[in-house]
Chains A and B, each alone.
Chain A
Amino acid sequence: GAVVSQHPSWVICKSGTSVKIECRSLDFQATTMFWYRQFPKQSLMLMATSNEGSKATYEQGVEKDKFLINHASLTLSTLTVTSAHPEDSSFYICSARVPGITNEQFFGPGTRLTVL
């Protein structure tokens, strides 16, 4: 089956620093990847849709200058949380869609970000 990895699995950083999270599709090429954020005891909320070779599409209310997304290759999308603050602490999950199959996404294991 399709495998999606995320790195790192957890990260602790100081307020004001930037953190980069990688999402990789290991055995397939993903032209589209999605980034979700999940606060404790809440549901997953879509942050943005990442398309290879083009700008990401952000959901309403998500600051594109704060959450930088780069999808430079067919197997890698990165999310950079710039100038992180404690309120950015959350569980970030990516998913990847197999080209031509729009009704299925494969999820990464998630990255737990804690900003002190």
Chain B
Amino acid sequence: AQKVTQAQTEISVVEKEDVTLDCVYETRDTTYYLFWYKQPPSGELVFLIRRNSFDEQNEISGRYSWNFQKSTSSFNFTITASQVVDSAVYFCALIVGTTDSWGKLQFGAGTQVVVTP
């Protein structure tokens, strides 16, 4: 069975601080994809990144960076120099390649990020 764990329920930071969101996943499949989504108060999911299991390169996009480590089954997300607009719930998610669940997204519980001025 697949599982995504986001142990941090809520993280509060002051603007300009860095914040790291943890994501640990479980799967027996060798082919899988990991995602991060942002859900602001409006509710609409915003896609942030997709990473496949064969690509362990870390990625940076502006103030966002991701650290994928297969050895620890983790796909952590860091926001550098946080801003108030970063306040949202962030979800880590997993798609695996087994026939019976191909294409089904397994979401973590989400981490609420609160950035105060």
Contact = CB atoms under 8 A, between A and B. Distances in A.
A93 interface: yes
B43 interface: yes
Interface residues of A, number: 20
The contact size tier of chain B is 10 to 19
Interface string B75-112: 00000000000000001000100000011110111100
Nearest to A6: B44
A44 B43 CA distance: 11
A93 B105 CA distance: 13
Nearest to A9: B43
B105 A43 contact: no
B50 interface: yes
Contacts of A93: 43, 45
Nearest to B6: A43
Contact of B104 (A34, A42, A107): A34
Contact of B43 (A32, A97, A102, A112): A112
B33 interface: yes
Interface of A: 32, 34, 42-46, 49, 91, 93, 95, 97, 102-105, 107, 109-110, 112
